[in-house]
Structure formats: C-alpha cells, structure tokens
Amino acid sequence: MALLSSTSSSSLLTNFHYISSLQYNNNTRFVSPKCKLLGITADLSVPPKARFIARRKESLSVKQLQRPLMDYMSLPASQYSVLDAERIERVDDNTFSCYVYKFKFFAFEVCPVLLVRVEEQPDGCCIKLLSCKLEGSPIVVAQNDKFDASMVNKISYDSKRRDSALQQLTSDAVIEVNIEIPFAFRAIPVQAIESTGSQVLDQILRIMLPRFMAQLVKDYQAWASGDTSRQPLGTGQI
C-alpha cells in the first residue's frame, strides 16, 4: 500500500526550494543553522515534529446463539482467544503482542509491532497501546526513539439489546502518532507529511478493523456452540 511512491516523494523534494543561512552567536562558537522554507524561517536546532491521527468506528449485527453475546463479552481477558496466532501472541493474561502487516510510508516499508493491554469494561473491553516498535530498514528502525504513539480501541455490545435475537457489536478505534520529522523530509511542508501520515493510519484502520471484527464474531460463534478450547481461528489476516 503506497499512498505516495518514491518517484512522487522525489518530485516533492525537488519542488520545494529553500535558502540556507547561518546565524552566529558572538558570545560562543555555537552556530545555529536556519533555513528559509517557502518564506518561513525555521530554527533547525529544534527538529520539527508531525502529528498523525485517525479514527474509525465499525459495527456488525450479530445473531445471538444459545449463549448470548453479553456473556462472551464478559469473559475475563485470561480466557480470550488470541484470534490470530500468526499475528498475535499472548504475553500474559491481559497483555498481547500484535504484528501489524507491512505498509509503505513514502518510499519506506514499515512493520509495526504493538504491545497492547486489554481492560475489561461493563459492556465489553478496551484495548490500549502500551508500546510500539518499528521494524524495517535501518532508517525505519532509527525512528524508534523519535516518535510516540497512542491507541485506544473500545469494543462493546448494545446493552439495550441484551435480550434481542440480533445484537450489535461495535469497535471504536483512535490512533495518534507524534514523530520527529527525519532530515531527508524536512523540505516537505509539515502539513503535507501530516496529511499523508494520517491517510496511512486511516487506511490501516479501514483494513484491520473489519478483519478484526469478523474474527471476533467467528470466535463468539465457536464459543457459543460449546467450543471452550479458545484456539485461534485466524490465518494471519489481521
């Protein structure tokens, strides 16, 4: 998935012209670099940052079986299935490692590894990001100490429909990333980088949430039919 190819990235870089200048401090030997980018003077001694954010909500109608969805959603986290053994590993009762599929950001291929905690709630559960590590090329790996990320995914059922034959299962997810812009991209306006980054996050949610919800429903159906093995049912698609 490439929202911007390496060719278009190169074109962007060559189209933004800037004039470099140096500001000297008479009292010290320190030299503070500055550049004029699109008429704006920016102090390069403080690395610019970009903020990416995306939110998506998915809902599915679920036919309730002999064991209701409410009981399934009330299971303690220790009894959760990992859903997809190829993508998710259990660390302890409430903590899981998730291997997100690879995606492209500009010309770089990125593979995030998430550590998440599941918190039980009255009408479902909440998945919160504890940490995120990037895997990929040396340039990608070098960004691990230059960004922070947060994610919350609230999964709930409609408590007003607890006795209805058809239940509603909802996943409401928000992802936010704040990153120090790598030097090679600083000729590109921050707004353009933020727009691209937010589009990438949005695309990830568009792909992952429906797959996650489908596997959750599949696991509920297995549990409701009497399968208590809690074996993963996924095939590496999350």
CA neighbor of 171 nearest in space, from 202, 216, 201, 137: 216
The pLDDT assigned to 234 comes to: 55
pLDDT in tens, the chain (238 residues): 333 333 334 333 333 333 233 333 444 434 444 444 444 455 556 889 999 999 999 999 999 998 999 999 999 888 888 777 778 899 999 999 998 878 888 788 899 999 999 999 999 999 999 999 999 889 899 999 999 999 999 999 998 887 889 999 999 999 999 999 988 889 999 999 999 999 999 999 999 999 999 989 999 999 998 876 666 655 555 5
CA distance 71 to 67: 7
Residues 6 or more apart whose CB falls under 8 angstroms from that of 76 comprise 93, 120
Question: CA angle 125-129-220, nearest 5°?
Answer: 35
- Residue 50's alpha-carbon distances to 58, 128, 147, 187, 200, in angstroms, are 27, 22, 9, 13, 14
What are the DSSP calls for 202-230, one per residue? HHHHHHHHHHHHHHHHHHHHHHHTT--S-
The pLDDT assigned to 226 comes to: 84
CA distance 160 to 157: 9
The pLDDT assigned to 51 comes to: 98
- Which helix (DSSP H) or strand (DSSP E) does residue 76 occupy? none
Question: Cβ atoms within 10 A of the Cβ of 121, count?
Answer: 13
CA distance 132 to 113: 6
CA neighbor of 187 nearest in space, from 37, 11, 40, 42: 37
The pLDDT assigned to 230 comes to: 64
The pLDDT assigned to 7 comes to: 37
Copy the structure tokens of residue 131.
């940490």
CATH hierarchy code of domain 49-225: 3.30.530.20
CA distance 115 to 95: 7
pTM reported for the whole predicted model: 0.74
155 and 170 in contact (C-beta within 8 Å)? yes
